[in-house]
Structure 1
Amino acid sequence: MNRKVKKIMIYFLSGIVSIILLCLIVIFVASGIFSKQEYLKPWDKGYSQKFDDPRLKLTAHGILASNSHNMQPWKIKLDNNKDVFYLFVDSERLTKEVDPYARQIMITQGTFLENVKIAGEKLGYKTKIDLFPHGEYDEQNLVESMKEKPVAKITIRKTQPKESVLYDYIFLPDTNRGPYEKTKLNETQVKKLLAINTKSDLVVKLFQDEANINIMGNYAIEGAKIEAGIHRINEETKNIFRSNEYEKNKYRYGYSVEGQGTSGIMKHIMQGIITLVPSINSEKQSANMFIKSTENVVENTSAYVMIISNNNNRVQQVKSGMLYSRLILAAHSEGIVVQPVSQVLEEYSEMEKQYNKIHEQYAPKGSTIQLFIRIGKPKQKFPQSMRSDVMELVRLD
């Protein structure tokens, strides 16, 4: 190869490298790689200490709780009595297509309350939680009723801090959507998880025999396929997807690429590409990805848990959420993680057949499966998701 040809090849390769670098720069800028991740600040253990008001300190822990579609649908009202605050549903954060009766939203109120309770013990505050202190909702006028009536009245009293085996796990991601190891939970783990339930109107059931694993895996996949095929639900999901760091800092709730376990440089590459070419994240593509990821995780799941209530009233929905939050933290303490696969429990017409089938098979007559969860030892760590600033939760009325 003569010198002239070598020079041409060097120029050509240099040009290719320059184009690749330029493309990467454009992608990274579109992703917002240089933006501060304000939406992750609430996960810092020291975050709650910035607040002097103990009610806000506890709220800073509640906001880390597992919640439906990461909508963080919580509002708090600080009472003139500095020992009291109220929890309301943020009725502007309802997901009416996927959760038409707001059952998942009420479960989410419970996860917040349980985090507040556990944090209170650690920080030296005894918490008294009264559910629906102003009466239950008017179901015929639900949204307005949610604005007027609190889910809970929380009364705090200063006391001695207690050591908590669960507190530190509040700061771990609540959901892991990745594959789990194909090992069964041991007897100690099973007993520990089942022992968290002290409520007579709730039941925790854990399954890890092959027959039930196969049946439940099929329910999880079928539920995902049905949900993925409904346009109005896909539109609802699309509207709360945050494609880059700028959007995540602005809105700080909803979905992002981290939800599928993507982090580091790959996160920014995906975010940048989706931002620059939104059609890549089309409804069909997203639906197929959701189904395939569900099939993959089902293949890598060796245990499931159900939380079942005696009936389906609002109080038991909230209590189910409190129990679920404790389940998550107890699981973390054993090095295991969870993911709800509750699509089959959603209450709209297209899911009715599967909803009825799973209830006929696993729920005593008259009872309701509130949560359907896969559980196991993770093969990979999952990143933390967006969280709002505590002051965004405070009602000023």
Structure 2
Amino acid sequence: MSKRTVKKTMTIILSSIGALLIIALVSLFIISGIFESPKYLEPWQKTYSQKFDDPRIQLAAHGLLAANGHNMQPWEIQLDKDDPMVFYLYADSDRLTSEVDPFSRQMMITQGTFLEYVKIAGDELGYKAAVALFPDGGYDEQKLQESMKTKPVAKIMLTKDKPQNNPLYDSMFLPDTNRAAYQSNKLTYEQIDHLQAINTYANMSVKIFQDIENIEKLGSYVKKGTAIEAGVNRVMQETETIFRANEYQKNKYRYGFSVEGQGTSGIMRHIMQGLVTVFPLMNSGKAASDMFIQSTRTSVDNTPAYAMIITNDNNRSSQVKSGMLYSRLILTAYSLGLVMQPLSQVLEEYPEMKEPYSSIHRDYASDAGTIQMLVRLGKPTKEVPQSMRRDVIDLLIRE
């Protein structure tokens, strides 16, 4: 075979390979849903709430953006039939994550994050939102799931007021969690004072740690908790069940996890979504556990500070209030140029986590105290995308 023939053959082969790669790439984009309109992001638009005339739905549309466990968005809203300025918040017991949150503590924190967003939005829209927790009494803990369906977490009572410019309002439309690496800069004393000053509850505290000893100690707790969770199959399977592999699934379900949460964005997001759709084992079993552990290690190794919300007791009202405080902490951090990521694994209460859970409480909480939230805190190195959100109308309880 002549050199000319060989060269021509190689050119044909390379052209064929190139064509196949282009076809494969285009196929992945189509499988990912690159041409699908992301309806799951519509609630993040500032104009979204304006689609509704009822101020209660307008405020609920803001609450929908709040941080929530596993992005389950476990909220239900009941509009008062007789009073157009009253509505009720229920915990959606059909959206429990019972493996990772067996006592529904995180579920109650999530109710609080919603309520605080409603209050802040009320200032901006011209409504004073008064919140009464558990207006029909507390849950029957022996029949918790049934009780959640019949007893509201809160009664929200609106009073028309003059609109006020709330400095935290604009931050509500930013992602509540940033899992990327943070800059190494320590927080200033002014920033720490500002963050700690947001707490107005007598029975809880906000603590911030950025000295080397506590950074290493808390980082070790986080890594240990993550390794334990990654090794508990039933917990990991609960997470895998709510993973949305592509744009079609994200538009269909509009809650749960997706590749954005793993730090993937841009064109790579669609490549990864296509691959995970075609090869689901890439994001399940050992592969998912290894990715989870590695992601946490990267986060911990790029963390200049940690923050905790600690309550003196662990009753349902305190859990809800800690969620309200957490929302205010997130939004205040944004106003200071900071971002946060919850690292809740070591605070979870299933049997395998008992030892590190008890240990971190001995080290950082009083005898009767409960660490409700543990988060990393710092200046971001990059922006992250917004996560899926349901349509607010889906939160309404139909009579």
Measured in 1, the distance between the counterparts of 2:172 and 2:37 equals: 23
Match of residue 11 from structure 1: 12
Match of 1:33, SS?
A: coil
Are the counterparts in 1 of residues 61 and 392 from structure 2 also a CA contact under 8 Å? yes
4+ runs deviating over 3 angstroms:
1-6
Measured in 1, the distance between the counterparts of 2:14 and 2:215 equals: 53
Measured in 1, the distance between the counterparts of 2:282 and 2:341 equals: 26
Q: CA deviation at 1:380?
A: 1.2
**How do 1:93-104 and structure 2 match up within 5 A?**
93-104=95-106
Match of residue 145 from structure 1: 147
Letter in 2 for 1:20: L
Match of residue 382 from structure 1: 384
Measured in 2, the distance between the counterparts of 1:296 and 1:4 equals: 51
Letter in 1 for 2:120: I
Q: CA deviation at 1:261?
A: 1.8
Match of 2:100, SS?
A: coil
**How do 1:96-245 and structure 2 match up within 5 A?**
96-245=98-247
Q: Deviations over 1:274-313 (max 9, x none)?
A: 1011122231011111111111111111110010011000
Q: Deviations over 1:182-230 (max 9, x none)?
A: 1100111111100100110111101111111110000000000000000
Measured in 1, the distance between the counterparts of 2:287 and 2:3 equals: 49
Match of 1:87, SS?
A: strand
- Listed as ranges, the gaps of 5+ residues in structure 1 are none
Letter in 2 for 1:116: V
Match of 1:193, SS?
A: helix
TM-score by length of 2: 0.98
Match of residue 352 from structure 1: 354
Letter in 1 for 2:396: V
Match of residue 52 from structure 1: 53
Q: CA deviation at 1:2?
A: 5.0
Count of residues paired in the alignment: 397
Match of 1:82, SS?
A: coil
Measured in 2, the distance between the counterparts of 1:275 and 1:34 equals: 16
- Listed as ranges, the gaps of 5+ residues in structure 2 are none
Match of residue 254 from structure 2: 252
Match of residue 269 from structure 1: 271
Letter in 1 for 2:213: A
Match of residue 33 from structure 1: 34
Match of 1:162, SS?
A: coil
Match of 1:301, SS?
A: coil
TM-score by length of 1: 0.99
Measured in 2, the distance between the counterparts of 1:35 and 1:279 equals: 24
Q: CA deviation at 1:3?
A: 4.3
Q: Deviations over 1:202-259 (max 9, x none)?
A: 1110111111111000000000000000000011011000001010000000010011
Measured in 2, the distance between the counterparts of 1:30 and 1:19 equals: 16
Measured in 2, the distance between the counterparts of 1:295 and 1:394 equals: 40
Q: CA deviation at 1:79?
A: 0.6
Measured in 1, the distance between the counterparts of 2:351 and 2:171 equals: 38
Letter in 2 for 1:323: L
